[in-house]
């Protein structure tokens, strides 16, 4: 895992290759507030040691909040190990988030802190305002806005698969040409939020306007390198998402054609 700090945020950057799509950044974050906040907990694949990587950044015993933006498996990898390592920490999620987690491994309910979009969390030196990002793939999704630093944590929204592993690990998304970034984000919107093609509604566009009105200086998405100074163009991309082509994944015939190109391994 590649970690780097920008102001009072540390990025714990990992990535996942998605065949035919690209290299998807998978970021977790530490917000170094007076009461430190860990945002998501990475992939659960073998060999990933989320808590070990986190220990290089902060003593888990100091962590006060684990903000689970939603309980998809690319966000929960280190969750239970972190709950063990961070006995002071409360887990921020929603009623639906608790319900979804209960289908695999129930959360310790005394550690849970239920917070809905529109509500706020006091973390000592700042208030974090929970909001539902315009694009999401899980009904428990809750991002937040840090008014003190004009920083937006957007969960899956604004994600973009990158053409190379190196670009999935950059610390500034502006290293990617703007047109390439927009195309990758629109592809991700179609892959991850296919309902957006049915969302030519005032409410969807209101949700985009709400992010635009916040005017975040920096956007931290789980699936995008850190994005400073480009929030308005990111919102332009969201406004275009309903009109892009739907994503259709490879079918069985395509899978078999792909497998046929592989050399048989020596036995
Ligand atoms: Fe997700
Ligand atoms: Fe995700």
Q: What is the pLDDT of residue 262?
A: 81
Ligand 2 centre from 222 Cα, in Å? 6
Q: What is the pLDDT of residue 258?
A: 87
Ligand 2 centre from 8 Cα, in Å? 23
Ligand 2 centre from 192 Cα, in Å? 8
Q: Return averaged pLDDT per consecutive 10 residues of the chain, 267 residues in all.
A: 95 96 97 98 95 98 98 98 98 98 96 98 98 98 96 98 98 97 98 95 95 96 98 97 95 92 68
Ligand 2 centre from 42 Cα, in Å? 9
Ligand 2 centre from 132 Cα, in Å? 14
Cβ contact 43:24 at 8 Å: no
Ligand nearest to the CA of 71: 1
Ligand 2 centre from 65 Cα, in Å? 19
Q: What is the pLDDT of residue 266?
A: 57
Count other C-beta atoms under 10 Å from residue 4's C-beta: 14
Beta bridge partners of 4: 11
Q: What is the pLDDT of residue 170?
A: 97
The token duo for 76 is: 């929960």
Ligand 1 centre from 262 Cα, in Å? 31
Ligand nearest to the CA of 25: 2
CA distance 39 to 64: 11
Ligand 2 centre from 213 Cα, in Å? 25
Count other C-beta atoms under 10 Å from residue 191's C-beta: 17
Q: What is the pLDDT of residue 220?
A: 98
Ligand 2 centre from 69 Cα, in Å? 9
Ligand nearest to the CA of 42: 2
Q: What is the pLDDT of residue 15?
A: 98
Count other C-beta atoms under 10 Å from residue 101's C-beta: 20
Q: What is the pLDDT of residue 267?
A: 52
Q: What is the pLDDT of residue 264?
A: 67
- Look at the pTM and tell me if it is higher than 0.75: yes
């Amino acid at each position: 895992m590649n970690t780097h700090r920008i102001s009072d945020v540390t990025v714990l950057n990992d990535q996942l290759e998605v065949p035919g799509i690209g290299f998807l950044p998978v970021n977790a974050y530490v917000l170094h507030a007076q009461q430190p906040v860990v945002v998501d907990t990475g992939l659960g694949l073998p060999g990933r040691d989320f808590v070990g990587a986190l220990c290089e950044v902060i003593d888990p015993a100091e962590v006060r909040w684990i903000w689970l933006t939603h309980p998809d498996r690319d966000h929960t990898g280190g969750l239970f190990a972190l709950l063990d390592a961070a006995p002071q920490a409360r887990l921020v999620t929603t009623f639906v988030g608790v319900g979804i987690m209960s289908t695999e491994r129930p959360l310790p309910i005394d550690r849970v802190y239920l917070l809905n979009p529109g509500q706020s969390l006091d973390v000592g030196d700042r208030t974090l305002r929970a909001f539902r990002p315009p694009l999401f793939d899980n009904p428990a999704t809750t991002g937040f806005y840090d008014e003190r630093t004009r920083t937006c944590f957007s969960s899956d929204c604004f994600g973009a698969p990158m053409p190379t592993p190196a670009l999935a690990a950059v610390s500034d998304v502006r290293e990617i040409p703007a047109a390439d970034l927009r195309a990758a984000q629109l592809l991700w919107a179609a892959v991850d939020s296919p309902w957006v093609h049915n969302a030519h509604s005032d409410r969807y566009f209101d949700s985009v306007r709400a992010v635009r009105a916040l005017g975040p200086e920096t956007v931290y998405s789980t699936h995008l390198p850190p994005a400073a100074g480009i929030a308005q163009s990111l919102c332009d991309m969201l406004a275009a998402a309903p009109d892009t082509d739907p994503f259709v994944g490879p079918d069985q015939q395509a899978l078999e054609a792909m497998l046929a190109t592989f050399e048989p391994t020596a036995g």
